[in-house]
A and B are shown apart, each in its own frame.
Chain A
Amino acid sequence: GAVVSQHPSRVICKSGTSVKIECRSLDFQATTMFWYRQFPKQSLMLMATSNEGSKATYEQGVEKDKFLINHASLTLSTLTVTSAHPEDSSFYICSAGQGKGNEQFFGPGTRLTVL
């Protein structure tokens, strides 16, 4: 099956620093990748849709200047949390798809803790 990896799996940083999270499709080319955020006991909230070679589409209420998304190749998308603050602490999950078929394959997630 399709495998999606994320790196790092866990990161702890100081308030004000920027953190980059990578999402890779290991055995397929992902034309579209999605970024989700999940707070404890809450649902996955879609943050943005990332298409290879074009600008990401952000969901309402998500600050595009704070959450920078780059999808430079068909196998890699990155999410950079700029000037992170404690309220950005969350579980960030990416998913990727091959195009038709609707199925999204989720990465294992990255737990971000901002001190």
Chain B
Amino acid sequence: QKEVEQNSGPLSVPEGAIASLNCTYSDRGSQSFFWYRQYSGKSPELIMFIYSNGDKEDGRFTAQLNKASQYVSLLIRDSQPSDSATYLCAVDRKGRGSTLGRLYFGRGTQLTVWP
């Protein structure tokens, strides 16, 4: 059983729309959740992380976490063509403030924002 599942997409949205990216995880012991963006041929860039149930907003990005449903999502408001990339969900069993843990990644969702 895969630890982290994402819809591979591709997801295509028009410029200015809201893009919604979803991720589920199998390990109930997971404590930390991360969203990364990866452009083709490049390494991942951290967008944001979330530890607690609920929403966390950072600019145009909102992460949502529901530990009971083992579900985490990322909303991108006012999507721009420059947001076109693959978005990776990652989970860590270690919690906030703990020593660095091992990240397990989903396969990523390819997002295209067309002008």
- B-binding residues in A (CB < 8 A): 31-32, 34, 36, 41-46, 49, 59, 93, 95, 97-104, 106-109, 111
* 5 tightest Cβ-Cβ pairs between the two chains A and B: A97-B100, A106-B43, A43-B107, A44-B105, A109-B43
B79-103: CB near A (< 8 Å → 1, else 0) gives 0000000001010101011111111
Complex-state Cα separation, A63 to B81, whole angstroms: 41
- Given the known inter-chain contacts A101-B97, A102-B92, A102-B96, please indicate yes or no for A46 contacting B43, CB distance below 8 A: no
B97, chain A: closest CB distance, angstroms = 6
Q: Per DSSP, are chain B's interface residues mostly helix, strand or loop, or mixed?
A: loop
List 30 A-B pairs, Cβ < 8 Å.
A32-B99, A42-B107, A43-B4, A43-B105, A43-B107, A43-B108, A44-B44, A44-B90, A44-B103, A44-B105, A46-B105, A49-B102, A59-B102, A93-B43, A97-B100, A98-B100, A99-B99, A99-B100, A100-B99, A101-B97, A102-B92, A102-B98, A102-B101, A103-B49, A104-B46, A106-B45, A107-B43, A108-B42, A108-B43, A109-B42
Complex-state Cα separation, A42 to B100, whole angstroms: 24
B48, chain A: closest CB distance, angstroms = 11
Contacts of A44 in B (CB 8 A): 44, 88, 90, 103, 105
> Are B104 and A102 in contact, with the CB atoms below 8 A?
no
Q: Per DSSP, are chain A's interface residues mostly helix, strand or loop, or mixed?
A: loop
Question: Which B residue sits closest to A49, measured CB to CB?
Answer: B102
Which of A32, A45, A103, A111 contacts B46, CB < 8 Å?
A: A103
- Given the known inter-chain contacts A107-B43, A109-B42, A109-B43, please indicate yes or no for A100 contacting B97, CB distance below 8 A: yes
> Are B103 and A104 in contact, with the CB atoms below 8 A?
yes
